Amino acid sequence: MTTDATVNAPGESTVVDGVHYHQFDIVIVGAGGGGMRAAIEAGPNAKTAVISKLYPTRSHTGAAQGGMAAALANVEDDNWEWHTFDTVKGGDYLVDQDAAEILAKEAIDAVIDLENMGLPFNRTPEGKIDQRRFGGHTRDHGKSPVRRACYAADRTGHMILQTLYQNCVKLGINFFNEFYVLDLVMTDVDGVPQPSAVVAYDLSTGELHVFQAKAFIFATGGFGKIFKTTSNAHTLTGDGVGIIWRKGLPLEDMEFFQFHPTGLAGLGILLTEGARGEGAILRNVNGERFMERYAPTIKDLAPRDIVARCMVQEVQEGRGAGPHKDYVYLDCTHLGAEVLETKLPDITEFARTYLGVDPVTEPVPVMPTAHYAMGGIPTTNNAEVLRDNTTVVPGLYAAGECACVSVHGSNRLGTNSLLDINVFGKRAGNNAVEYVKTADFVPLPADPAAGVRGMIEGIRSSTGTERIAAIRKELQEQMDAKAQVFRTDETLAEVTQTIHRLRERYKNISVQDKGRRFNTDLLEAVELGFLLDLAEVVVFSARNRKESRGGHMRDDYPKRDDENYMKHTMAYLTGDPHSADPGDHISLDWKPVVITRYQPMERKY
59 annotated as a binding-site residue: yes
Asked whether residue 34 is marked as a ligand-binding residue, the answer is yes
Please tell me whether 260 is known to bind a ligand. Answer: yes
User: What is the spatial distance between Cα 605 and Cα 601, in angstroms, rounded to a whole number?
Assistant: 12
Whole-number Å distance between alpha carbons of 299 and 502: 41
- Looking at residue 576, its pLDDT comes to 83
- Identify whether the C-beta of residue 279 lies closer than 8 Å to the C-beta of residue 340: no
In whole angstroms, what is the distance from residue 45 CA to residue 25 CA?
Answer: 10
Which candidate, 278, 268, 279, 63, places its Cα nearest to that of 155? 63
C-alpha to C-alpha distance for 521 and 460, rounded to whole angstroms: 9
- The strand pairing partners of 138, in sequence order, are 145
Is residue 255 within 8 Å of 305, Cβ to Cβ?
A: no
- What does the pLDDT read at residue 575? 85
User: Is 340 in a helix, a strand, or coil?
Assistant: helix
Burial of 336 (0-12, 13-18, 19+ CB in 10 A): exposed
Beta carbons of 215 and 395 less than 8 angstroms apart = yes
State how far the Cα of 133 lies from the Cα of 69, in Å rounded to an integer. 10
Q: Are 37 and 422 in contact (CB under 8 A)?
A: yes
Cβ pair 238, 283 in contact under 8 A = no
Other Cβ atoms closer than 10 A to 279: 16
Please tell me the predicted confidence (pLDDT) of residue 86.
97
CB 594 within 8 A of CB 566: no
Amino acid at 333: T
Cα distances from 539 to residues 379, 506, 529, in angstroms, run: 22, 19, 16
The answer to whether residue 304 is catalytic is yes
How far apart, in Å, do the first and last CA atoms of the chain sit?
59
Q: Is 22 annotated as a binding residue?
A: no
**Is residue 64 annotated as involved in ligand binding?**
yes
Segment-wise mean pLDDT, segments of 10 residues, the chain, 605 residues: 37 84 97 97 97 95 93 96 97 98 98 97 96 93 94 94 97 96 94 94 96 98 96 94 97 97 93 91 96 94 93 95 95 94 91 95 95 97 97 97 97 96 98 97 95 94 94 97 95 96 95 92 96 98 97 95 97 87 92 97 88
User: Using CB atoms within 10 A of its CB, is residue 461 exposed (0-12), middle (13-18) or buried (19+)?
Assistant: exposed
- Is 32 within any annotated ligand binding site? yes
Q: Supply the pTM of this predicted model.
A: 0.94
The predicted structure's pLDDT at residue 9: 44
Q: What is the pLDDT of residue 581?
A: 87
Q: How many separate helices (H) and strands (E) can be counted in the chain? A: 16, 23
Q: What angle do CA 33, 541, 234 make, to 5 degrees?
A: 40
Cβ-contact 376, 405 below 8 angstroms: no
CA pseudo-torsion sign 591, 108, 273, 348: negative
Closest CA to 90 of 256, 313, 322, 284: 256
Q: What is the pLDDT of residue 191?
A: 86
Could you give the domains of the chain? 262-369 (3.90.700.10), 449-557 (1.20.58.100)
Is residue 385 within 8 A of residue 215, CB to CB? The reply is no
**Tell me, what DSSP letter sits at residue 603?**
-
Is 415 annotated as a binding-site member? no
- Mind giving me the DSSP string for 174-215? EEEETEEEEEEEEEEETTEEEEEEEEEEETTT--EEEEEEEE
Selection from 184, 163, 148, 159 nearest residue 74 by Cα? 148
- Residue 417 counted as an annotated binding residue: yes
Task: Identify the pLDDT of residue 583.
Answer: 85
Among 148, 487, 149, 133, residue whose Cα is nearest residue 308:
487
State residue 3's pLDDT score.
35
Q: Give the chain's radius of gyration (CA, Å).
A: 23
Has 321 been labeled as part of a binding site?
Answer: no
Q: Taking Cα atoms as reference points, which of 247, 246, 249, 241 lies closest to residue 186?
A: 247
Listed in sequence order, the residues at least 6 apart from 15 whose beta carbon sits closer than 8 Å to its beta carbon are 21
Q: What is the pLDDT of residue 1?
A: 36
Tell whether residue 35 is among the known ligand binding residues.
yes
- Residue pair 495/483 in contact (Cβ under 8 Å)? The answer is yes
Q: Is 342 annotated as a binding residue?
A: no
Annotated binding-site residue? 156: no
Of 147, 276, 304, 487, catalytic: 304
Report how far residue 530's alpha carbon sits from residue 242's, in angstroms, rounded to the nearest whole number. 5
Whether cis (ω within 30° of 0) applies to the bond prior to 406 is yes
Phi, psi at residue 430, to the nearest 5°?
-65, -40
Phi-psi region of 268 (alpha: psi -120 to 50; beta: other; left: phi over 0): left
- Written in H, E and C, the secondary structure of 27-46 is EEECCCHHHHHHHHHHCCCC
pLDDT attached to residue 577: 80
pLDDT value, residue 578? 79
Q: What are phi and psi of 314, to 5 degrees?
A: -60, -45
Q: Rounded to whole angstroms, how far apart are CA atoms 249 and 216? A: 15
